[in-house]
Amino acid sequence: MRKVILVVPEPGRIKTPLELQQGTHHDWILTALPHGELNYLMGIKHLNGLIFAAQPDKNHQVPTDHVMVHINELVRYPGPSDLRPCYMDFQTFSEIIFMSRENLQQAMKGFTAIWGGLDLTKNPYEAPVRFHNRSGSPRRAGDLHCTFPEYLLALRRLEKILPIWPGTAESRAASSDHNITTRLDAIAREVTQSHRPTTHLLEKKPPDHCTTSWILKCEASQSKNHTKILWDGGMPCNLEEGGCRWMVQHYVPEWARVGQWRCLMVDMAPFYIIHEPSQNPGSSSLTLPYCREDGWTLKELTCMLTSNPDQQDFMSREGGTREQIQAANDEIHRFLKQTLEIFIVAEEKELNNRGLKIRSSLRVSARVDLSITKNPETQELDYFVSGISRGPGMVLYGSSSARNIQRYGLEYANPFIK
Q: What does the pLDDT profile of the chain (418 residues) look like in tens digits?
A: 678 999 999 888 999 988 887 766 889 988 889 999 999 999 999 999 999 988 877 777 888 899 999 999 988 876 666 788 899 999 999 999 999 999 999 999 999 999 988 888 888 878 888 888 766 666 665 678 888 999 999 999 999 999 998 899 898 887 678 889 999 999 999 999 999 998 888 775 554 455 558 888 878 776 544 445 677 777 766 655 556 778 888 888 888 888 889 999 999 999 999 988 876 544 444 566 778 878 889 999 898 888 877 666 667 787 889 999 999 999 999 999 999 999 999 999 988 988 888 889 999 999 999 999 999 999 999 999 999 999 877 888 888 888 888 888 888 887 887 7
pLDDT of residue 158: 96
Collapsed DSSP state (helix, strand, coil) of residue 186: helix
Pairing of strands 246-250, 199-201: antiparallel
Res 174: pLDDT: 76
Helices assigned H by DSSP within 312-401: 322-353
pLDDT score recorded for residue 141: 59
Inter-residue contact 249 to 255 (CB < 8 Å)? no
pLDDT given for residue 284 in this prediction: 43
pLDDT at residue 194, as a whole number: 96
| Pair type for strands 83-87 and 3-8 | parallel
Q: What is the H or E stretch that residue 414 is in?
A: helix 402-417
**CA dist 289 to 25, 50, 204, 279, 396, Å?**
11, 21, 37, 11, 11
Q: Tell me which residue of 344, 376, 388, 384 sits closest to 194, measured CA to CA.
A: 384
Angle CA(174)–CA(28)–CA(216) in degrees, nearest 5? Answer: 45
- Which candidate, 399, 405, 409, places its Cα nearest to that of 23? 399
H or E segment and range at residue 404: helix 402-417
pLDDT at 136: 61
The rounded distance, in Å, linking the Cα atoms of 105 and 242 is: 32
pLDDT given at position 98: 95
Q: Report which of 206, 225, 205 is spatially closest to residue 216, judged by C-alpha positions.
A: 225
DSSP per position, 289-313:
PEE--S---HHHHHHHHHH-TT---
C-alpha 87/C-alpha 47 separation (Å) is: 7
Distances in Å between the Cα of 221 and the Cα atoms of 5, 12, 58, 348 are 29, 14, 38, 24
Which pLDDT value is given to residue 360?
A: 92
- Length of the chain equals 418
